[in-house]
């Protein structure tokens, strides 16, 4: 059964090592978001660096998720002191559970504050695509799909929640995926651009 891969990428206003209150707040909120998303129905796994590599991105051992990569347009630092980005790569059972996790509760509150922490880049902040059961998506493929989405828009190869595709490549919609009904937490299918 195909699984949904979801990659997110954002350029932070300050390096991860910056001691400012906003950076600390971003980390604190991020920890709560990861904990909540990890318990969300439909969540399968996310890329994590090995124990000894926590706090680093570019030199970390990501195991089956491959070598860490970023879009070509990212022009900030790549050292522990200068890296100014946040990226996630995760696996889900379907589009609807991923959408629900992103646009409800703590993560939704974080999205409302994203402009406090992230630069506006004029580029997509996330991309989704289908992977075959048993396949772990890798960072380089995720970056390539985000860049494809930026150049070509949503397609079966790389799509958004606003314009999703089914595993067979046919266009679909969030309300057509999964068997759950919309809730007040999902704000009746109101999607960001």
SS (H, E, C) 68-94: CCCCCCCCCECCCCCECEEEEEEEECC
Q: What is the pLDDT of residues 126-171, one digit of tens each?
A: 999 999 999 999 999 999 999 999 999 999 999 999 999 999 999 9
Which pTM was predicted?
0.89
Distance CA 31, CA 121 (A): 24
Residue of 27 and 64 predicted with greater confidence: 64
Backbone angles phi, psi at 61, to 5 degrees: -95, 110
The stretch 26-47 carries a mean pLDDT of: 91
Any idea which of 48-57, 63-72, 137-146 has the lowest mean pLDDT? 48-57
Nearest to 3 by CA among 89, 125, 126: 89
Backbone angles phi, psi at 20, to 5 degrees: -65, 155
The answer to whether 101 and 91 have CB atoms below 8 angstroms apart is: no
Token readout for 141 is 């493929």
Token readout for 98 is 């991923």
Distance CA 121, CA 71 (A): 12
Residue 107 DSSP code: H
Distance CA 156, CA 130 (A): 8
Average predicted confidence (pLDDT) for the chain: 88
pLDDT at 185: 35
């Amino acid at each position: 059964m195909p699984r949904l891969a979801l990659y997110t990428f954002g350029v932070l206003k300050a390096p991860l090592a910056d001691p400012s209150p906003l950076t600390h707040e971003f980390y604190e909120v991020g920890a709560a978001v990861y904990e909540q998303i990890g318990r969300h129905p439909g969540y399968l796994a996310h890329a994590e660096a090995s124990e000894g590599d926590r706090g680093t991105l570019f030199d970390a051992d990501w195991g089956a998720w491959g070598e860490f990569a970023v879009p070509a347009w990212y022009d900030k630092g790549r050292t522990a002191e200068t890296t100014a980005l946040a990226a996630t790569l995760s696996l889900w059972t379907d589009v609807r559970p991923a959408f629900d996790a992103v646009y409800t509760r703590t993560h939704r509150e974080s999205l409302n504050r994203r402009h406090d922490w992230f630069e506006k880049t004029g580029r997509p902040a996330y991309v989704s695509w289908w992977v075959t059961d048993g396949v772990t998506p890798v960072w380089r493929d995720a970056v390539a799909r985000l860049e494809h989405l930026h150049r070509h828009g949503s397609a079966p190869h790389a799509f958004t929640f606003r314009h999703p595709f089914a595993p067979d490549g046919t266009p679909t919609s969030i309300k057509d995926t999964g068997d759950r009904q919309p809730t007040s937490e999902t704000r009746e299918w109101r999607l960001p651009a």
